[in-house]
Amino acid sequence: DVKVTQSSRYLVKRTGEKVFLECVQDMDHENMFWYRQDPGLGLRLIYFSYDVKMKEKGDIPEGYSVSREKKERFSLILESASTNQTSMYLCASDSPGGGETQYFGPGTRLLVL
């Protein structure tokens, strides 16, 4: 059974705090992704990674960074959280080459006060 897990379902942080969101997949997928989901805006790609220690910017990378030290784990970092980063964050993974199913994690709903 395919599994993508995220460290927290709900998170409340204060403005200026450093926030870590963790994602783990057990499918040996090379590709991992972080999306942000906001009403009416769909899923917007923040960062993705093709391999360990490799990262690429997506459509909205500003204010975020990522880390991929191990193949199964992809972390999203908010260096200094701001209220406009309040959102649902979804992690996903798939195999390389395109045209493959992306599997999503359950999401982390982050509230920045």
Partner 1 sequence: GENVEQHPSTLSVQEGDSAVIKCTYSDSASNYFPWYKQELGKRPQLIIDIRSNVGEKKDQRIAVTLNKTAKHFSLHITETQPEDSAVYFCAAYYNAGNMLTFGGGTRLMVKP
Site residues (vs partner 1, CB under 8 A): 4, 33, 35, 40-45, 48, 50, 58-59, 90, 96, 98-99, 101-102, 104-107
Question: Is 62 or 98 the residue whose CB approaches partner 1 more closely?
Answer: 98
Dist CA 25 CA 6 (whole Å):
9
Minimum CB distance to partner 1 smaller for 19 or for 46? 46
Smallest gap from residue 65 Cβ to partner 1 (A): 18
Rank residues 28 and 98 by Cβ distance to partner 1 and give the closer one: 98
Please, are residues 79 and 20 in contact by the beta-carbon 8 Å criterion? no
Q: Which is nearer to partner 1, 45 or 77 (CB)?
A: 45
Q: Which amino acid is at 104?
A: F
Cα–Cα–Cα angle for 98, 106, 59, rounded to 5 degrees: 50
Q: How far is the CB of 81 from partner 1 (least distance, A)?
A: 23
Least distance between partner 1 and beta carbon 53 (Å): 17
Cα distance between the two ends of the chain:
37
Q: Taking the complex as a whole, how short is the minimal distance between the CB of residue 42 and partner 1, in angstroms?
A: 4
What Å distances lie between residue 103 and 20, 35, 78, 94, 112, CA to CA? 21, 12, 23, 6, 27
